[in-house]
Amino acid sequence: MAHTTDVAPAELQPTETAREHDDSETHVTYQAAAVYVANKAYDEALTTNNPAATLDDISGALPELLPEAFKTTGTAPGLAAVLLPAVADRIWAFTAVAHARAEIGGDYGYVVDVLADSLKHGADPKAIRAEVPRVVERLRIERTIAAASDAITTAVTTALAGLTTHPRDFAERLHTAVDDAQAEHLAHVGDMSLERAESAEAFSTATYAMARALNLSPDPEGTAQGLRNALRMVIDEARG
């Protein structure tokens, strides 16, 4: 009797390269299926009155919803378990986008960029949804500061243009008021005395003023020498 074996002839056995190719194709197929399922869920959510809340609900119910949906369509139930992680990640991403869009409107792309950067640096995808309000609040603060700065600049420009004498006195009073306000804030957040905060703020203002003078000067060397002389005079007056 001829010896038989369960091992297929070498020419019929799948090579390692062929197996790797099959695995790669299967992975791509699963990823494509996950994208399709997540996109369909997102499209459905967009038809509701509150897409962000709907996506929150879908995210929470996904472990139960996906197997049931596959069973209804006659798809192998085991495929639901394989696709669930990839579908869940995409639904969470859509959820973050929907909340950003609901809370900040047309600038939601900025929020998404910040969240994407967080993911690149190792943030937990499941925690990204909770980051949306923080990023949105930061953007709102930046908007408020920008609007206030523009309004203040306009008001100061108008006021200076209306002065016929001593516009520098007006500017100095404004600078003093700003320095005082910043010193009070620094004392509060830095848990230091007001005197120390005022000193720190005055030093910061002086440093900025000197740097600005040097940057704007057509003769930096001459300006630097002038600043040194002025500083010596101020020191002598303070000591005297």
Q: 33 and 82 in contact (C-beta within 8 Å)?
A: no
- DSSP assignment, residue 8? P
Question: Considering only CA atoms, which of 64, 63, 71, 115 is closest in space to residue 88?
Answer: 63
Question: Considering only CA atoms, which of 218, 179, 186, 181 is closest in space to residue 202?
Answer: 179
pTM of structure: 0.43
Q: Where are the beta strands (DSSP E) in 35-170?
A: none
The predicted pLDDT at position 126 comes to 66
Which residues in the chain show pLDDT less than 50?
1-15, 17-21
Rounded to an integer, what distance in angstroms lies between the CA atom of residue 171 and that of residue 167?
Answer: 6
The predicted pLDDT at position 164 comes to 64
The predicted pLDDT at position 19 comes to 46
The predicted pLDDT at position 80 comes to 67
Helix, strand counts (H, E) of the chain:
8, 0
